[in-house]
Amino acid sequence: MSLGGFDTHGDQLVLEPKLLGLLDGALDALYRKTVALGVASSVTTFTASDFGRTYTFNGSGSDHGWGGHPIVVGGSVVGGRLYGTFPVAGLSGGALTLIDPANSASLDVGQGRLLPTVATDVYASTLAQWMGITQAGELASVLPHVGSFGTNSLGFLG
């Protein structure tokens, strides 16, 4: 499935609540249907986006950035958890920036773009293993960079 229209720039405060409401309704309806059909533990839904947003204002909104907030829904999902860390304001080199509270490193890679603390490859790897890819060679052929991130599973699927 696909839901476009999130490239909102200056209309974020008006459009995002509406778009997220549509997404919430669609995910809820899909999950409830899998429960009614008795297949919820066999169906997992994962949201993804090809870009996030910067934290700096560009005069009418914000520009394209990195990262985002994937959502995972399904009967096998260990729910109620957030993965990664949310940045906090701090000083880096005497300048105000957003830092990773886990290690006090600046997450700002320039122009208000933040480096995500969890790679999309790690989410994908977790899903791939749940779907049956178990051998390291198979996982590396599907996600060749997953070995660069310290873990290949977030443990959100039981």
Of 24-33, 48-57, 123-132, minimum mean pLDDT range: 48-57
CA distance 155 to 73: 14
Residue type, 91: L
The tens digit of pLDDT for each residue in 83-101 reads: 988 889 888 778 888 889 8
| Contact by Cβ (8 Å): 49, 7 | no
Q: Which tokens sit at 2?
A: 């696909």
Residue type, 68: G
* pTM (predicted TM-score): 0.83
More confident residue, 75 or 87: 75
Instruction: Please give the helix or strand (H or E) that residue 55 lies within, else none.
Output: none
131 has pLDDT over 80: yes
